[in-house]
Amino acid sequence: MSTVTRASRRDFLKIAGTTAGGLFIGFNWFSCDSPKVEVLSTEEILSQAKNFNSYLSISPTGDVVIYSPNPELGQNIKTSFPMVVAEELDADWEKVRVVQANLDTEKYDRQLTGGSGAMPHSWERLRTAGSTAKYVLVAAAAKTWNVPAEEITVEKGIISHKGSGKSGHFGEFVTEAATMTAPEQVTFKDKKDFKIIGTPVKNVDAKEMYTGQPLYGLDFYREGMLHAMIQRAPFGMKIKSVDDAAARAVTGVQEVVTFGNSVAVVGSSTWPLMKAKKLLRIEYEPEGKVESSADHDRIFKELLASGKAEVRRKDGNVDAAFKNAAKVVSAEYQCPFLAHSPMEPENFFAHVKGDKCELIGPTQTPDRARQSAAQILGIPAENITVEITRLGGGFGRRLRADYVEEAVEVSRVMNAPVKVTWSREDELTGGAYRPAVRYKFEAALDESGNMTAYKLRGVGMNAGNTTREHNFPSGAVDNVLIESVNYESSITTNAWRAPITNFLAYAEQSFLDEVALEAGKDPVQFRLDLLQRAKTNPVGELGYDVDRMIGVVQAAKEKSNWGKNPNVKQGFSVYFSHRSYVAQVADIVMEGGTPTLKKITAVTDCGMVINPIGANHQVRGGIVDGMGHAMYGNLTFENGVPKQKNYDTYRLIRMKEVPEIETHFLTTDFDPTGLGEPALPPTGGSIANAIFAATGRRLRSQPFIEQKEFSDIKLDIRRA
């Protein structure tokens, strides 16, 4: 079965020849001179490509260049996007070159990285680009050979006609193809005929990364460029006075610039600025709330107990159900602030030139960077270009444009090209964080251990709704009340990989474990019973697909040999986020009296897997990330300043702290869904539930290693 799609008006494909005779296919019209045939070198194709930010171009030599519009931060989009285009084109992957496209809101839609949304959003567009190119190449070959297009086949960049015995590579037909009209409808390949999608394709930037070529924003240097480092104010404070005499005296410092509540030291290289920044004498005074972690703990408890809350979901009569309950289970869970801490610290290059501005660097949201710059400079956004470098991680931090704005401010004042570089201390103390949150859960059980009511109240900071009210177990319980309370903090906060769910999933999956045990039921069977209820007789709105969730639960139960080996203490967790389903089982084995975390088994349903290497990376990486922060991550505040300022006190997970991770992907016919985030949320829950199974200690706060329940547990982590 093939899928036929009609391109929307916005996406209507246009085709044009180029002066050099290549074929370029993009999503918007661009004019150009009449084609003339010329053999292009790869370098020529690449330089030519700069003018055509289309999805792909094909040169007369048959080389295919595919433009990847979305920022690459390790989610492997720069490899998987072109795989989809090449698949529908039936290109030879060996002849494909990939180019990171610059920001172009005319040509690309949703040119950002966040929410695990790039692939689900672009799946059809990418397929359309590839299949349209194939259509016109086939039409050109049919015209050249005077044979029916339907009799033509394409394989690995070679167009063939069996009847006449003719064949040729893509490049031989690009000139003719450039005169063709794009079809209004394209026919996609049958998924069973995929030759590139679903196969392990290696990272397209591998060679450059492993030989140290400049790829990242911090690697960008330009002749005459100035460097800047910035001292930012504590949260809730403003500058009272600045004494920059000692900073200015440092050799290599050219200027000290104060803007807003920031002070920038500017010079021709980085090291003198690091020294000078420490010599700034800045006095601050309170401007708003100057907060400490102790304040947050107190505020959480007050707001949980207060009557003020926004109702997010209400089914049945919760009060009556709790009144009639045979047993009530209640627990509170809390997590601390976390920094995003991408390995490449924040940085950006800006060159303000009158009413124009050039921006180059790592950003998850290039258009936000441009709009922010336009606002600061009071110039039209069209006057600003944004070149997207490879990102040394993001985790949500580079959704913000604060560090881009700084580069723009300093470049404007200095009237020169400027690169702003953050130190690690800046990254940990400069915001914007995953905020702390506290949840209170309550469950009512009847005589038979059925959950008759479920209550959740979440208190967050700058978080709006801290719940996912239509997610499991909603829909499986008659009486539900889900509420949220928000506190406005002066500490800047931001989406952090799997926003809200990065902690909510742990809290909820741990609490369901508590309820299952109180109900005297096996934790997996307890969830399956609830899911069965949601399937046969759902209560209210369901924000998840019950069958897909049952699918991963059952597969994880089977793959992990759940409950089969009494010597293996297991913890279960399952979560739906970013359109994908992940179930996990953590295995702890007692060795010489020491609980040893040996393995995490993960089953994922993310629809069709584009690239098994990338998919494995995202699931294992998500689990390592989730585990590291649940175990060790902690950022605490004193008077608006984080106490942990570098990796000596802010602990990230290391090589010796990761167990074996076994990954499974369900084979389904669904289109690809998100994968950059969904494996992270269930991780804390599977581990905490296994720790409970092994030790009887229930961990209700993160990081685990700082909880008193964990203080005498010597958890060993070792691969099986």
27 interacts with another protein by CB under 8 A:
no
Selected range binding another protein among 52-60, 398-406, 464-472, 615-623, rule: CB under 8 A:
615-623
Q: Segment contacting another protein (CB under 8 A): 6-14, 148-156, 479-487, 622-630?
A: 622-630
Binding mask 595-614 for another protein (x = CB under 8 A): ------------------x-
Task: Report the site for another protein in 656-675 (rule: CB under 8 A).
Answer: 656, 658, 661
What span, in angstroms and rounded, lies between the C-alpha atoms of 675 and 664? 13
Residues contacting residue 261 through CB under 8 Å, at least 6 positions apart:
232, 233, 237, 238, 239, 287
Name which position in 216, 503, 544, 576 contacts another protein (CB under 8 A).
216
Determine which residue in the list 8, 164, 185, 214 makes contact with another protein, applying CB under 8 A: 214
Q: What is the DSSP letter of 593?
A: T
Residues 462-501 that bind another protein (CB under 8 A): none
Q: Does 31 sit near another protein (CB under 8 A)?
A: no
Got the DSSP string for 173-189? GHHHHTTSPPPSEEEPP
**Preceding amide of 432 cis, omega within 30:** yes
Q: How far apart are CA 425 and CA 647, in angstroms?
A: 9
- In angstroms, what is the minimal distance from the CB of 384 to another protein? 25
Identify the residue among 181, 221, 323, 591 touching another protein (CB under 8 A): 221
Residue 451 DSSP SS3: strand
Smallest separation (angstroms) from another protein to the CB of 620 = 6
Choosing from 39, 305, 647, 720, the residue that interacts with another protein (CB under 8 A) is 647
Q: Please pick, from the candidates 25, 96, 321, 391, the single residue that binds another protein as defined by CB under 8 A.
A: 391
Reading the block at residue 427, the tokens are: 């990254």
CB of 60 to another protein, least distance (A): 29
Binding segment for another protein (CB under 8 A), chosen from 29-37, 420-428, 461-469, 597-605, is: 420-428
Render the burial of 268-281: b for 16+ CB within 10 Å, e for the rest: eeeebbbbbbebbe
| Residue 29 is a binding residue for another protein (CB under 8 A) | no
344 to 383, contacts with another protein by CB under 8 A? 344-345
Site residues (CB under 8 A) for another protein, limited to 228-257: 251-252
CB of 221 to another protein, least distance (A): 7
77 vs 507 by CB, closer to another protein = 77
Interaction between residue 646 and another protein (CB under 8 A): yes
Does the footprint of another protein cover residue 19 (CB under 8 A)? no
Q: Is 316 or 393 the residue whose CB approaches another protein more closely?
A: 393
For 479-516, letters b (16+ CB in 10 Å) and e give: bbbbbbbbbebbbebbbbbbbbbbbbbbbbbbbbbbbb
Identify the CA nearest to 682 among candidates 498, 545, 528. 498
Q: Which is nearer to another protein, 71 or 171 (CB)?
A: 71
For another protein, the binding residue among 269, 324, 415, 537 (CB under 8 A) is: 269
121, 617, 643, 698: which one binds another protein (CB under 8 A): 617
> How many other CB atoms are found less than 10 A from the CB of residue 342?
19
| CA–CA distance, 605 with 77 (Å, rounded to integer) | 19
Give the shortest CB-355-to-another protein separation in angstroms. 31
Minimum distance of another protein from residue 214's CB (angstroms): 5
Contact call for residues 502 and 434 (beta carbons, < 8 A): yes
- C-alpha distance from residue 144 to each of 14, 137, 167 (Å): 21, 10, 11
Options 270-278, 499-507, 550-558, 602-610: segment touching another protein (CB under 8 A): 270-278
Structural tokens at position 533: 């209820």
Is residue 461 at the binding interface for another protein, with CB under 8 A as the rule?
no
As to burial, measured by CB atoms within 10 angstroms (0-12 exposed, 13-18 middle, 19+ buried), residue 380 is: exposed
Q: Is the dihedral of CA 511, 520, 449, 529 positive or negative?
A: positive
Least distance from C-beta 74 to another protein, angstroms? 3
Residue 657 CB, nearest distance to another protein (Å)? 8
Instruction: Please state, in angstroms and rounded to a whole number, the distance separating the CA atoms of residues 429 and 427.
Output: 6
Q: Which of 32, 46, 274, 279 binds another protein (CB under 8 A)?
A: 274
The distance of closest approach from Cβ of residue 251 to another protein in the complex, given in angstroms and rounded to an integer, is 6
What are the structure tokens assigned to 9, written together?
Answer: 């008006």
Binding part of the chain for another protein, among 180-188, 278-286, 385-393, 600-608 by CB under 8 A, reads 385-393
Residue pair 461/486 in contact (Cβ under 8 Å)? The answer is yes
Say how many residues touch another protein, by CB under 8 A.
65
Q: Which of 223, 241, 655, 669 binds another protein (CB under 8 A)?
A: 655
Among 85, 138, 218, 585, binds another protein (CB under 8 A): 218
Question: Quick one: which of 289, 346, 343 has its CA closest to 488?
Answer: 289
Cβ-count burial of 567 within 10 angstroms (0-12 exposed, 13-18 middle, 19+ buried)? Answer: exposed
* Cβ–Cβ < 8 Å for 204, 78: yes
Q: How far apart are the first and last CA of the chain?
A: 44
Write the CA distances from 125 to 73, 130, 677, integer angstroms.
21, 9, 22
Asked if 224 interacts with another protein (CB under 8 A), we say: no
Q: Taking CB under 8 A as the rule, does residue 387 contact another protein?
A: no
* Site pattern 162..201 for another protein (x: CB under 8 A): --------------------------------------x-
Return residues touching another protein (CB under 8 A): 73-76, 200, 202-203, 205-207, 209-216, 218-219, 221, 227, 251-252, 269-272, 274-275, 341-345, 390-395, 421, 423-425, 613, 617, 620-625, 628, 646-648, 652-656, 658, 661, 719
